[in-house]
Structure 1
Amino acid sequence: MPHATSSPPLSPLTRDDLVADLEGGCRPPADWRVGTEHEKFAFTLADNRPLPYEGERGVRALLDGLTRFGWKPVEENGHVIALTCPRHGSVTLEPGGQIELSGAPLETIHETCAEVTDHHRRVKEVAGEMGVGFLGLGFNPKWRREDIPWMPKGRYHIMREHMPRVGSLGLDMMLRTCTVQANLDFSSEADMVRKFRVSLALQPVVTALFANSPFVEGRPSGFLSTRSHIWTDTDPARTGILPFVFEDGMGFERYVDYLLDVPMYFVYRDGRYIDAAGQSFRDFMAGRLPALPGERPTLSDWSDHLTVSFPEVRLKHYLEMRGADGGPWNRLCALPALWVGLLYDTSSLDAAWDLVRDWTAEEHAALRDQVPRLALKTPFRDGTLQDVALRMLRIAHEGLAARGRLNQKGRDETSFLDALWIIAESGRTQAEDLLEAWNNRWAGNIDPVFVECAY
């Protein structure tokens, strides 16, 4: 995406400035919105291969084709790397050519689903002319790292070089994963803290409900959410469940201190990315950044730095829910519906907090460790995570019903949870359905997934 001009600040940024920037995200409930982002794998219909950037069946041709609908191209060094539209958010590229819709902030889940449906209709129109399809899974089911072309974005080159220094699976995260994400607002620091704690505690439950990435290079991986497992060995300095969120003293200041300890990736200056991987934003604020000696950061640099931490829930000017595998259309709408139902109704937020408030740090860690492999069958206290998922869905259902946001047919938003109720009541994820198909109907051949899980 385009960057703000990084002109020198009138005075050096202070820690208080960074705290004030996060505080600027506070909005009254009447102004709360929900934004939904989702990624999908693009592949050639003729041979199920990932798309290169260039060529007739390439990512650039796909982006160029979408401009017929009013999207405006964003270029970097002569390469189209994104599209923007004031009414429809933006289309961006992940490192391995995954296509992402970063949707607009909307008032209702009805609007969110209309946005997703309209987006899919348009990209499928262009892709169909090119012989290209889209796959809704959390991890690429067939291709190796070396089979996947890298997209020409400067920040990805820096991350590509840095990732192997800090973890063994970071390149897989970049090239072979897809997610769906919901972004929600808060009204105050106290509201942010409560929502952060609830959503962080429940993130493993959401990972379990959305698990649908059981394959690696054509065979079962041993995980139901391979995507979630990948994050456990990507970069420990910028990932995980953030235990401090549940401790006394959590607030905007505490989160700023966490971010100041997250190593940098880059600084953007004069249209190019300068490699600052592993360097300290604290040193940058003191004018001691090795990559730019004597320079100090702007708010644009801070905004960039906010994007290079990858916890299960991320705080910017809103809260990002990051625990779900990418998936089919109905679950792209289900994720924002779930979180809106839990977090935007006061009674439901209270009930969700009551559900998780006595969970221990050891239980949080155990869930994060076991859910990628076991999903809803993960043991928890006297039962399994399936029991927690059912309680969570009841709370979300009540929250959506209380909102009373109706569509033109007089239906509220609770119907968007239907796909999750089916999974929670059966205890069976899409990943388990796919594994059964691979073992039986598909006879050990992965290629049918490109038909059965295509949009």
Structure 2
Amino acid sequence: MSTKSVSDRNDPVIESFDQLLHPMQSGEKPKHTWRIGTEHEKFVYCTGDHHAPSYTEKGGIRDLLHALTEFGWEPVEEKSEDGTSNVIALKGADGNVSLEPAGQLELSGAPLCNLHQTCAETGRHLTQVKAIGAKTGKGFLGLGMWPDKARSDLPVMPKGRYKIMMNHMPKVGNLGLDMMLRTCTIQVNLDYSSEADMAQKFRVGLALQPLATALFANSPFTEGKPNGYLSYRSHIWSDTDAARTGMLPFVFEDGFGYQRYAEYMLDVPMYFVYRDGQYLDAAGLSFRDFLKGELSILPGEKPTMDDWNDHLSTAFPEVRLKSFLEMRGADGGPWNRICALPAFWVGLLYDQSALDAAWDLVKDWTLDERQALRDNVPKMGFEAPIAGGGKLLDIAREVLDIASAGLTARGELNSSGDNESGFLDPLREIVSSGKTPAEHLLERYHGAWNGDVSRIYDEMSF
């Protein structure tokens, strides 16, 4: 989730609907300037007893952030209600390090030219956190969900946005607190050249997001036992907050573009307004009322563009549009899958021939067929039925071949002359096995682990 730092409030007041389109319009870039921004979260645990460290305990999350400054990261602070300031993020050449609600550590990477740079960035980050972890007795786990923690086992980070969200979540869904406290993901942020290019990428991204969920499914345990799902993290999103999640069927309607997405966002209930370094609770209120100067917590005040940009970050559909497109369907996982997720989507979306081929594969799927696939994948994985008959596994290899061709066409080579297609190898191995990563974990749980899920710390830590 986004980390907000104190900013200049002298940004423009919104006076017309056209201004709401500006963040999306400003994202348009010529192809040669397209970039790749990869985000990946990991669980932090104490190696002695596997507990999740609090923010303030000795050697806890605050100390971990401070320790990372030895690698050149600069602290980002947020003022608490009592007037004190807490370090809640770091900024540097490799992007931002931030905290998810229960202390999950996220790298929001810098916008990079190619996947070789992405994997180098990921490697630097993991080297740094492992070095700090070795000094402080911390480990880092790559999964989609805490395998053994109840909500009550987990701390909450001192971020004003999260306090508001945690108060609101139980009012709109049953699993929102699990989403906040117990899950991790890998995401990639990608560019577009025009409104039409954005729309085509959005549609392909939504239609094939369930395949990404299956390829990265990695959350089969809850509180030490199998939960009946392969990606419980993905299932959690289906009962978090229907007003701000889902498959966005309107994206597939004729004429979809920036205006339609802005209308959708105006109907997404607000979470907060940020003023003078503080989050004001606006949960459930209407941004449309805000535009009219009728927001109950700020009567007579109209929103600025900064308020609108904040609001754009509070919807969580399977693909999200801001000034770039975010692919949001994957569980957290090990190092090689952190690199594989952007490879999958860059291969499909950044070469026009690959994008057209991917669209040809899914363009005839109906709304109901797309939704059924999204609903079935968290439990069924590759066995989920697809439109026209067959199973998701039946098209997985074809989609990977399209992505590989797209990466090869990009011609981005490393110093050894290798293109980017090798980053898909972990996904090819998964498809060749016919089993999701979660199914392999379940086999170990029922076999070599003898029902002891704590063995996962040895096998899935970075």
2:396 to 389, 395, 414: 389
- Percent of aligned pairs with the same amino acid: 59
Give me the TM-score of the superposition, normalised by structure 1.
0.98
Give 2:36's aligned residue: 34
Native 8 Å contact 1:6 1:301 kept in 2: no
How far apart, in 2, do the equivalents of 1:64 and 1:19 lie? Answer: 38
Aligned match of 1:127? 133
- TM-superposed CA distance for 1:368, in Å, is 1.0
Any residues of structure 2 matched to 1:67-78 within 5 Å, and which? Answer: 67-77=69-79, 78=85
Aligned to 1:4: 7
Report the equivalent of 1:225. Answer: 231
Within 2, Cα distance between the matches of 1:351 and 1:379? 21
Return the letter of the residue paired with 2:7: A
Opposite residue 222 of structure 2, the aligned amino acid is V
Distance, in Å, in 2 between the alignment partners of 1:202 and 1:448 is: 33
Which of 310, 323, 329 is residue 329 of structure 2 equivalent to? 323
Greater displacement, 289-298 / 173-182: 289-298
Q: How does 1:64-103 map to 2 (within 5 A)?
A: 64-77=66-79, 78-85=85-92, 87-103=93-109
Q: 1:419 aligns with which of 407, 420, 426?
A: 426
Q: Where does the alignment leave 5 or more consecutive residues of structure 1 unmatched?
A: none
- Pair 1:355-2:361 in alignment: yes
SS of the residue corresponding to residue 98 of structure 2 reads strand
Equivalent of residue 113 in structure 1, options 91, 95, 119: 119
Match for residue 261 of structure 1? Answer: 267
How far the C-alpha of 1:192 sits from its partner, in A, is: 0.3
Distance 1:131 1:409 in 2: 37
1:328 counterpart letter in structure 2: P
TM-score (norm 2): 0.97
Paired positions, count: 453
Q: Is contact 2:76–2:90 with CA below 8 Å preserved after alignment?
A: yes
CA contact (8 A) 2:396 2:431 kept: yes
Change (3 A) 1:194 1:8: closer
Residue pair 1:41, 1:99 contacting (<8 A) in 2 also: yes
Q: Residue 14 of structure 2 contacts residue 305 of structure 2 at CA under 8 Å; is this kept in 1? A: no
Aligned to 1:195: 201
1:3-402 → structure 2 map (5 Å cutoff): 3-7=6-10, 9=12, 12-77=14-79, 78-85=85-92, 87-380=93-386, 381-402=388-409
State the distance in 1 between where 2:207 and 2:164 align.
Answer: 32
Where 2:91 maps in the other structure, the secondary structure is strand
Name the CA distance, whole Å, in 2 between partners of 1:23 and 1:40: 33
Q: Is the 8 A contact 2:11 2:305 kept in 1?
A: no
> What does 1:401-440 align with in structure 2 at a 5 Å threshold?
401-440=408-447
CA distance in 1, matches of 2:11, 2:61: 36
Distance in 2 between residues matched to 1:412 and 1:229, nearest whole Å:
35
- Residue 154 of structure 1 contacts residue 272 of structure 1 at CA under 8 Å; is this kept in 2? yes
Relative to structure 1, the CA distance from residue 301 to residue 426 in structure 2 (aligned partners, 3 Å threshold; closer, same or farther) is same
Counterpart CA distance in 1 for 2:258 and 2:143 is 34
Report the Cα offset of residue 8 of structure 1.
6.7
Query: What is the CA-CA distance between 1:51 and the residue it aligns to?
Result: 1.2
Query: Aligned to 1:448, what secondary structure does the other structure show?
Result: helix
CA shift for structure 1 position 281: 0.5
1:380-401 residue CA offsets vs partner (Å, 9 max, x unmatched): 2321100121111010000011
